[in-house]
Amino acid sequence: MNTASPFSQIVGIETEYGIQAIAEDASTNPTIGSAQIVDAYAKYHGSPRWDYQGEDPLNDMRGMRIDRRQAHPTQLTDVPLEIAVLPAQISPDGGVATDAPLGAHGRLAPSSRLATNAVTRRGGRLYVDHSHPEVSSPECYGPVQAVLEDAENDRIICEANRLAGNRYRIIKNVADQHGHTWGHHENYRISRSLPWKKIVPILASFLALRPIYCGAGWVRTSSKTRPAGYEISQRARHLECIQGLQTTYRRPLVNARDEPHDHAQQWRRLHIIAGDPNLLAYSTYLRVTSTSLLLWTVASLWETSHLGSLESWLLKDPVKAAHQVAADPHLASTVELMDGRLLPALEVLAQYAKVITQTWQARAAEQLDLQASSVQQAINDWNETLHLLQTDLSQAAMRVEWLAKYQLLDRQRGRWGSGWEDPRLAALDIKWADLDPANSLFEIYRRKMPILAPPVGRGTQRTRGTLRAELMGHPAVVKAGWTTAVLADPQNSRSYRIPLGAADNQQAIIEDGDQHGIDQLTIPQLLAKFARSAIEIEE
């Protein structure tokens, strides 16, 4: 098992964005609106189609596989979504005049199909996920680089919306006031030698408590069972079970999809769907670094047969705890442990941090790579944040997004003399997450209030994502996916599929000192870069 460094693993971040039609010619159908945004980006950048080769969404970490005939339609993410609008519905500038009807997979004729996938300039993916535009980062070397790519994802979706005519309001959140939720996902490459049954209870307990320092917060409207209020996590209320393959119904704390996008015998891709997206980058930094540290610690303690130091802090009911913690902006909630103890949620979280800190200190001398100083910095920052949440909330608000937003909205609530049911507060909550700087409440807050920037610098380590981004510069690339790309040679009407290697592949097509760019390579020259692995296929 490789436990060389907590920050040497491959990490990725995906965000589904909320959209609202704001232009007169914008579609009120969010799926079509999302497709317009993706299509505009794909056409402007000449993006190839997505290659679904190797995708396997119905395989389960628990050694099971769902029969395709029994799978929920939303689980079939390995087939392209086709959206078509009738020519009469397309205005001269590309807008959709009326809501287009959608048949099975949107197949209509005669029609103009909108692109629903695009490979981004960063080597990630922009696509329509159900009724939302989603941006997936490329593979990142460690969590610090993932923080940078999360910000790039925001820039990409804003660019795509601009290219589509700014017809839509782009909102970085995962829940609305009507009970709907969508996704913000994290991906961590972990060793397959670590038993899945050992990972799940520890990870579920950790994820239930994690929003305390990295939740995005939201204004909860009143319902039949609960009055209006403020919750520290947008996603937690929608989590209903410990683990499962599904992502759009009965959502689990731990997603069990076994789709590694890598060497399957060696690696798992841990797909976390339980978190909130953050605008405050320091919260993103705390979230992905602490999760990377937890996963490294689990692997380290399993390797040395000391996993009990974490297992002694397992929650009896992580789903119930997640709901309790999310509903308590005063951080006074207690949670029940597996052994029956009732402890403050913050104290249990501090115990996780203590075990992780001690494990790192015991093995720090073994870490000879350049990541060691970043790891120690992240551990210090996380422990300091947990301390501030217990001692100085004004200082903690410089790091923790839900707290910054809560203090702002609570002050405004006091000025208005209203309760949390005031619809103006829910409107401000949405305005906080608006990615348009001219309309964003967060942007105003960022300019006027002290917030802490994460110590992330600039990532330079190559990954498979870098290779994918470089391949986008060649006109012969007609498809690309997570693990493969397809080249088409018009001279002989042949197509070739090339594997892109492992997620941490550092291959460079154009070496330092080369005088020409990738676009100047002939197809034979490009194929020669993958001579041992290119396969001729029928397209």
What's the confidence (pLDDT) of residue 99? 45
Task: Tell whether 469 and 443 lie within a shared domain.
Answer: no
444/496 Cα distance (integer angstroms) = 50
Residue 404, classified by CB atoms within 10 Å of its CB into exposed (0-12), middle (13-18) or buried (19+), is: buried
User: Domain boundary residue among 414, 447, 480?
Assistant: 447
| 167-184 pLDDT, tens digit each | 999 999 999 888 889 999
What's the confidence (pLDDT) of residue 461? 85
> Does residue 87 have a pLDDT over 60?
no
Task: Tell whether 224 and 322 lie within a shared domain.
Answer: yes
Range of the domain at 478: 464-537
What's the confidence (pLDDT) of residue 512? 61
Q: Answer yes or no: are the C-beta atoms of 253 and 318 closer than 8 Å.
A: yes
Distances (CA, A) of 277 to 222, 247, 317, 408, 531: 23, 16, 24, 19, 41
Percent pLDDT > 90 in the chain is 72
Task: Tell whether 474 and 414 lie within a shared domain.
Answer: no
At residue 323, what is the residue type?
Answer: H
Q: What is the DSSP string of 398-439?
A: TT-HHHHHHHHHHHHHHHHT--TT-HHHHHHHHHHTB--TTT
Instruction: Provide the CATH number for the domain around residue 320.
Output: 3.30.590
Average pLDDT over residues 212-221: 96
Q: What is the DSSP string of 410-421?
A: HHHHHHHT--TT
Distances (CA, A) of 343 to 132, 159, 239, 276, 431: 39, 47, 22, 25, 36
The contacts found for 145-149 with CB under 8 angstroms, 24 or more apart, are: 145/11, 145/456, 145/459, 145/461, 146/11, 146/12, 146/13, 146/186, 146/288, 147/281, 147/284, 147/285, 147/288, 147/454, 147/456, 148/456, 148/458, 148/459, 149/12, 149/13, 149/122, 149/124, 149/459
103 in a structural domain: no
What's the confidence (pLDDT) of residue 369? 60
What's the confidence (pLDDT) of residue 525? 86
276/123 Cα distance (integer angstroms) = 23
What's the confidence (pLDDT) of residue 524? 87
What's the confidence (pLDDT) of residue 434? 98
Task: Assign residue 347 a region (left: φ > 0; alpha: ψ between -120 and 50; beta: otherwise).
Answer: alpha
Task: Tell whether 423 and 482 lie within a shared domain.
Answer: no
456 in a structural domain: no
pTM of the model: 0.92
Q: Answer yes or no: are the C-beta atoms of 173 and 428 closer than 8 Å.
A: no
Task: Tell whether 490 and 433 lie within a shared domain.
Answer: no
> Does residue 108 have a pLDDT over 50?
no
452/102 Cα distance (integer angstroms) = 46
4 in a structural domain: no
Range in 59-73, 360-374, 413-427, 444-458 with the lowest mean pLDDT: 360-374
515 in a structural domain: yes
Task: Tell whether 440 and 468 lie within a shared domain.
Answer: no
Among the listed residues 25, 39, 78, 129, the single catalytic one is: 129
Task: Tell whether 138 and 223 lie within a shared domain.
Answer: yes
What's the confidence (pLDDT) of residue 107? 34
Report the chain's mean pLDDT, rounded to a whole number. 90
| 270-323 pLDDT, tens digit each | 999 999 999 999 999 999 999 999 999 999 999 999 999 999 999 999 999 999
264 in a structural domain: yes
| 333-386 pLDDT, tens digit each | 999 999 999 999 999 999 999 999 999 999 876 765 667 889 999 999 999 999
Grouping H, G, I as helix, E, B as strand and the rest as coil, residue 171 is: strand
Q: Measuring CA to CA, which residue among 467, 485, 526 is closest to residue 48?
A: 485
102/82 Cα distance (integer angstroms) = 9
186/274 Cα distance (integer angstroms) = 9
Answer with the residue of higher pLDDT: 516 or 83: 83
527 in a structural domain: yes
454 in a structural domain: no
Residue 412, classified by CB atoms within 10 Å of its CB into exposed (0-12), middle (13-18) or buried (19+), is: middle
Average pLDDT over residues 13-21: 97
> Does residue 242 have a pLDDT over 60?
yes
237/220 Cα distance (integer angstroms) = 10
pLDDT category at 101 given cuts 50, 70, 90 is very low
99 in a structural domain: no
What's the confidence (pLDDT) of residue 345? 98
Q: Measuring CA to CA, which residue among 351, 325, 331 is closest to residue 339?
A: 351
User: Domain boundary residue among 392, 416, 447?
Assistant: 447
Instruction: Tell whether omega for the bond before 110 is within 30 degrees of 0, i.e. cis.
Output: yes
Range in 152-161, 203-212, 522-531 with the lowest mean pLDDT: 522-531
Answer with the residue of higher pLDDT: 233 or 245: 233
Average pLDDT over residues 509-524: 77
81/132 Cα distance (integer angstroms) = 12
121/470 Cα distance (integer angstroms) = 9
Number of DSSP helices (H) and strands (E) in the chain, helices first: 15, 22
* Cβ count near 384 (within 10 Å): 13
Task: Tell whether 180 and 60 lie within a shared domain.
Answer: yes
Percent pLDDT > 70 in the chain is 91
Task: Tell whether 311 and 427 lie within a shared domain.
Answer: yes
Active site residue 129: yes
Task: Tell whether 116 and 152 lie within a shared domain.
Answer: yes
What's the confidence (pLDDT) of residue 445? 96
Sign of CA dihedral 222, 227, 228, 230: negative
Task: Tell whether 220 and 272 lie within a shared domain.
Answer: yes
User: Domain boundary residue among 415, 447, 479?
Assistant: 447
> Does residue 490 have a pLDDT over 90?
no
**Residues with Cβ within 8 Å of residue 342, at least 6 apart in sequence:** 334, 335, 336
307/222 Cα distance (integer angstroms) = 42
Task: Tell whether 235 and 292 lie within a shared domain.
Answer: yes
> Does residue 105 have a pLDDT over 60?
no
218/216 Cα distance (integer angstroms) = 7
Average pLDDT over residues 237-263: 92
The tokens for 216 are: 């995005």
Domains of the chain: total: 2
> Does residue 96 have a pLDDT over 50?
no
